[in-house]
Amino acid sequence: MKALVTGITISLTASVTAWTMASGEIEAVLQNSFVAKNQATMDRLQRDAVQSACSAPRGMPLDNDMLASLRAERLDAVVLPADGEYLGDWQRGAEVAGNGRGLQSSDDPTQPNGGNCYACHQLAPVEVAYGTLGPSLTGYGARGQSVAMLQYTWTKLWDTHAYNLCSHMPRFGAQGILTEQQLKDVMAYLLDPASPVNQAAE
Amino acid sequence: MKRHHLGFAFFTAWLCSVPLAADNGVFDQYRDLMGDDNPAVFVIDEGEELWFTPQGPESATLEACDLGLGPGVTAGIYVRFPRYFADTDAVMDLESRLVHCMTTIQGRDLEAVTAKPYSLRGDFGTEMEALVTWLAAESEGATIAPEQTHAAERAMYTLGEEIFFYRAGPHDFSCATCHEQSDMRIRLQALPDLTSHTGAADAWGSWPAYRISQGLVRTMGWRLRDCFRQQRWPELRMGSEASIALQTYMAVNAAGGTMTAPGLKR
């Protein structure tokens, strides 16, 4: 395992230099350009392997082998719910989906983080203030609740890069943005037939 | 003028009482009501006054300040920014150039002039905001044409592009997450594609801008700081290399467009 990780790091570094100035240089620029503010600390400017691999300006050549192994690594690292229960309470899930706060320097760190799904997705048809960076998830529950479907959706929420490396969606589980319980609640909001996501608009 | 001003105050009150998710229709209505009366006109006047006001230990005005086209020249300078200045051997944005003039010509303390460049909600606008607003208005209608002749200016563009795509923080956001596609929105707010000429020209050409919801003029430096806040990053320093690089990236993508600032935003 250790050897594999080192291999990835090396090939990553090699492909990174294809498009950046020495990445140390850009990191130094960023360190000099920002100041820590409340919970938004300076270590946030440090990229992990996924972030580095997904920072290439458009049209830059990418190392496909590296990307494939990185994606496989993310899939390996997904943590499924310990008790095997995927679905929580859709009403609490609605709150998580609508809450855009959390982890900004201006947010109260004692309050729970939101998932901000509405910033990027249409969900309940009655909510008109939805963003369009992601596909509409209205009627998502029609896909059913098979084990495969539950695991697919959980994995997508835990670490979207496990399926689609460099997706624009945040890694809600892997980055600790949402708790396991919040993820279950959002799962129910998507999949429970009683959830407004799965009710036709009046 | 007075009558319009009252109408404006009334409209602002009404606007703030409707949900923040006010859509563009509301702003079109606002524009219809206000016509060309962007409340930024008051800030433009204030900025011009500040330029000619002696300040600091040297009790000097800013008239000796060289914004790129010679000391004291203010018309048409903003559309050439960010640009390289030989006296500092650095690429500067308008905000950092003004700081340079305040410290060297007026002899003011660097800490003091950079302590609070942008007003908080409920404050009066700052000196920096007023000066930048007036100086941008001095380029109104001019073609956006940032300097790209010096190697340092071109390197700034490349750095800006890299920062634009640099994903970091707990949400893995970069500017590109929200601003590399056209016709996208977050909730109800339209997101310009800043990698395209049209998107960059509309955005770069309309800041500084009067923010109706905040009752204040905001500069591009503030806009970037606030987008970085949404990006979950630490706070962007005014006049920092990252700020100047991103402004260079946007201004060069916008080149050929028209400067319409000060703009009017939700």
- B14 and B117, same domain (yes or no): no
Does the pLDDT value for residue A167 go beyond 90? yes
- B26 and B72, same domain (yes or no): no
- B31 and B65, same domain (yes or no): no
> pLDDT at position B192, please?
96
- B234/A36 Cβ within 8 A: yes
> pLDDT at position B255, please?
98
In whole angstroms, what is the distance from residue A66 CA to residue A56 CA? 14
Percent of chain A with pLDDT over 90: 81
- B58 and B20, same domain (yes or no): no
A82 phi, psi to nearest 5 deg: -60, -35
Sign, CA torsion B187/A166/B234/A57? negative
> pLDDT at position B1, please?
30
- B33 and B78, same domain (yes or no): no
- B58 and B26, same domain (yes or no): no
- B24 and B129, same domain (yes or no): no
- B5 and B104, same domain (yes or no): no
Does the pLDDT value for residue B16 go beyond 50? no
- B202 and B79, same domain (yes or no): yes
- B245/A34 Cβ within 8 A: no
Number of domains in chain B: 2
For residues A84-99, give the mean pLDDT: 98
For residues A130-139, give the mean pLDDT: 97
Q: pLDDT band for position B243 (50/70/90)?
A: very high
For residues A93-99, give the mean pLDDT: 98
Q: Give the 3-state secondary structure of residue B71.
A: strand
For residues B140-147, give the mean pLDDT: 97
Comparing A1-5, A29-33, A156-160, B258-262, which segment has the lowest mean pLDDT? A1-5
Q: Give A141's Cβ-side CA count (13 Å radius).
A: 19
- A171/B165 Cβ within 8 A: no
For B91-124, what is each residue's pLDDT tens digit?
Answer: 999 999 999 999 999 999 999 999 999 999 888 8
Q: What is the DSSP letter of A109?
A: T
For residues A61-76, give the mean pLDDT: 92
> pLDDT at position A89, please?
98
Question: Which residue spans within A127-190 are E strands per DSSP?
Answer: none
For residues B134-161, give the mean pLDDT: 97
The token pair at A161 is 């890069």
In whole angstroms, what is the distance from residue B74 CA to residue A68 CA? 54
Does the pLDDT value for residue A5 go beyond 60? no
- A37/B234 Cβ within 8 A: yes
> pLDDT at position B28, please?
59
Q: pLDDT band for position A22 (50/70/90)?
A: very low
Q: What is the 3-state secondary structure (H, E, C) of A56-87?
A: CCCCCCCCHHHHHHHHHHHHHCCCCCCCCCCC
For residues B140-160, give the mean pLDDT: 97
Question: Which residue in B150, B179, B170, B171 sits closest to B246, CA to CA?
Answer: B179
Q: Does A164 touch chain B (CB under 8 A)?
A: no
- A133/B177 Cβ within 8 A: yes
Nearest to A131 among B164, B172, B185 (CB): B185
For B64-96, what is each residue's pLDDT tens digit?
Answer: 999 999 999 999 999 999 999 999 999 999 999
> pLDDT at position B27, please?
57
Q: Does A49 touch chain B (CB under 8 A)?
A: no
Q: Average pLDDT of chain A?
A: 89
> pLDDT at position A19, please?
44
- Comparing alpha-carbon positions, the chain B residue that sits nearest to A32 is B240
> pLDDT at position B8, please?
38
Does the pLDDT value for residue B11 go beyond 70? no
For B179-211, what is each residue's pLDDT tens digit?
Answer: 999 999 999 899 999 999 999 999 999 999 999
- B141 and B12, same domain (yes or no): no
- B151 and B244, same domain (yes or no): yes
* Contacts A–B by Cβ distance under 8 A: 129
> pLDDT at position B89, please?
97
The token pair at B22 is 């006010």
Segments forming the whole domain that contains residue B138:
38-265
> pLDDT at position B5, please?
36
The B-side interface with A (CB below 8 A) comprises 21, 158-159, 161-174, 176-178, 180-181, 183-188, 191, 195, 228-230, 232-237, 240-243, 245
- B188/A34 Cβ within 8 A: no
Q: What is the DSSP letter of B15?
A: H
CB atoms within 10 A of CB B174: 23
Q: Catalytic residue at B227?
A: yes
- B113 and B240, same domain (yes or no): yes
Q: pLDDT band for position A4 (50/70/90)?
A: very low
Ordered by where they begin, the domains of chain A are: 90-198 (1.10.760.10)
Which residues from A are below 8 Å from B183, CB to CB?
132
CB atoms within 10 A of CB A85: 11
**b/e code B49-71 from CB counts within 10 Å (16+ = b):** ebbeeebbeeebbbeebbbbeee
Helices then strands, counting H and E runs in chain A, come out as 8, 1
For residues B206-223, give the mean pLDDT: 94
Q: What is the CATH number of the domain that holds B133?
A: 1.10.760.10
Sign, CA torsion B199/B200/B201/B206? positive
pTM: 0.91
